[in-house]
Amino acid sequence: MDTKKPELVFIPSPGLGHVASAVEISKLILDTDERLSISLLIMKHPADFGVQPYLQSLSAHSRLHFVDVSIDSKTAAELLSNKDRFLYDFVDGHKSKVREYVRNNIASNSCCGFVLDMFCISMIDVANEFGVPSYIFFTSATAFLALSLHFEALRSNANEDEISKYDYSESNEELSILGFKNLYPAKILPRPAKSVTPSSILYFDGIRRFKETKGIIINTFAELESFALQSLSDAKIVPQIYPIHPVANSEEGDKKQETESIIKWLDDQPKSSVLFLCFGTLGSFEPEQVREIAIALERSRHRFLWSLRRPPPKGKVEMPKNYDNSEEVLPEGFLDRTNGIGKVVGWAPQVTVLSHPAVGGFVSHCGWNSVLESVCCGVPIAAWPLYAEQQMNAFLLVKELGLAVEIRMDYVKDFEGKIPVDIVTAEEIEGAIKKLMADGEENEVRKKVKEMQEKSRVAMKEGGSSYTSLRLLIEDFISNIS
């Protein structure tokens, strides 16, 4: 089937945060230029992670086509069974489906680029078969890209005998790292950089291939990460970078009733008085930790909205679920004592909540999408990272940018249940809450976040940094077929 419009092929990783980011940047591209259309290829993970309900909730867009290129669930599960190679094997297992779709559905002279998630780098091979340039869509911070390139260079230049010196799993060093103004504590390095393992070797092999692409689109804006972006520009080690921050997704799908109940409660609260606690797609805590959070909230005397989720069974990769009765994990009488100043819910519409004028603080896991949403809504963060590169995001927010306060920066959630549960005490949580919510609009962190919110708004207006970057990117796409 020939397509008249220049077409992009987007391939996101199967996680909800990656798919949602790809959808938002796709819509932004299409709304900016009518010449383009996009096929967004979906690789279904057996655990789904909320991707299908999210996709079903989206409004139709005439030039955005969702294409299921999934393999059968048995094969997918087998490919995911190797804990070192799981995501890489899973992506490689979809190459033939991607190849088949492009060959049969996109005219050879109309495909103007493959836009690949940071973990789908091996799809460069398929793009090369069709003679089409590849771009990376980097869903994390520029600082994480700089850190990854820094450690990739160190490892590439080391011989086999030297490689072990880049294992920081037991290190308390503070390191000078590309993209950071401050010395960076080795103990909060993201897992691939912290130790030399088969999975970290695969990760840095992928990072090395970024240099084969025509450009890197980063889910950020220039004013937020000016230092990291300038560091990468000066280092001249990657292709053209396009910092383009997203339009936050506020679609609620089939959860209209829950959303209405939450908004009705927020409407009755004073401006900037509510602390919102929400920990992302996989965020949940054991009962012992839940009780510490509850004690901290009650002692702090601040109004709160808490998205409380039940963790999956130990060792299972599943989404947290809502409690049938949250009282089973909360201190006795907690709901009665906090009635009127607090509301405990299950799922919560994060962007809608952060956009509400009653919300004045956000206790967050520091997933990058959540960071951007919070900044763009002008809500300061209390940083409680859980996994992936979230500890680095927390360091960036607290130490580099001054847009957050710390709860526990080196906290790591053990999803496999192999180590004793690490408890953050009520005292630690309460202290951070009070610091975050103190002094109203005069709070220094709040003032900085409000200033950055305004910069994010200006960045997407005509002549702004993200607007300009987006226009340059689109013209580069179009040039590939002209």
Predicted confidence at residue 109, as pLDDT, reads 84
Q: What residue type is 473 in one-letter code?
A: L
How far is 25 from 31, CA to CA, in rounded Å?
Answer: 10
How far is 316 from 93, CA to CA, in rounded Å?
Answer: 23
How far is 116 from 354, CA to CA, in rounded Å?
Answer: 29
Q: What is the pLDDT of residues 120-172, one digit of tens each?
A: 999 999 999 999 999 999 999 999 999 999 999 999 998 888 888 899 999 99
Distances (CA, A) of 325 to 73, 284, 308, 330, 335: 33, 15, 11, 10, 11
Rg for the chain, CA atoms, rounded: 22
Please state which architecture CATH assigns to domain 7-248+458-479.
3-Layer(aba) Sandwich (3.40)
Above 90 in pLDDT, residue 3? no
| Count of residues making up the chain | 482
With a pLDDT cut of 90, the percent of the chain lying above it is 86
With a pLDDT cut of 70, the percent of the chain lying above it is 97
Above 90 in pLDDT, residue 13? yes
Q: What is the pLDDT of residues 237-265, one digit of tens each?
A: 999 999 998 656 655 555 788 899 999 99
- Give the mean pLDDT of 417-429: 89
Give the residue among 112, 114, 116 at the shortest CA–CA distance from 138: 116
Above 60 in pLDDT, residue 38? yes
What residues are paired with 344 via a beta bridge?
A: 306
Class of domain 256-456: alpha beta
Q: What is the pLDDT of residues 267-310, one digit of tens each?
A: 999 999 999 999 998 899 999 999 999 999 999 999 999 999 99
Helix (H) or strand (E) holding 215: strand 215-218
List the domain boundaries for the chain: 7-248+458-479, 256-456
List Cβ neighbours of 167 (8 Å cut-off, separation of 6 or more).
194, 195, 196
What residues are paired with 88 via a beta bridge?
A: none
How far is 146 from 150, CA to CA, in rounded Å?
Answer: 6
256-456 shares the fold of 7-248+458-479: yes
- Residue for token pair 């939450």: 262
How far is 462 from 425, CA to CA, in rounded Å?
Answer: 47
The values of phi and psi at residue 383, to 5°, are -85, 120
Provide the whole-model pTM: 0.96
Predicted confidence at residue 414, as pLDDT, reads 81
What is the pLDDT confidence band of residue 2, given thresholds at 50, 70 and 90? Answer: very low
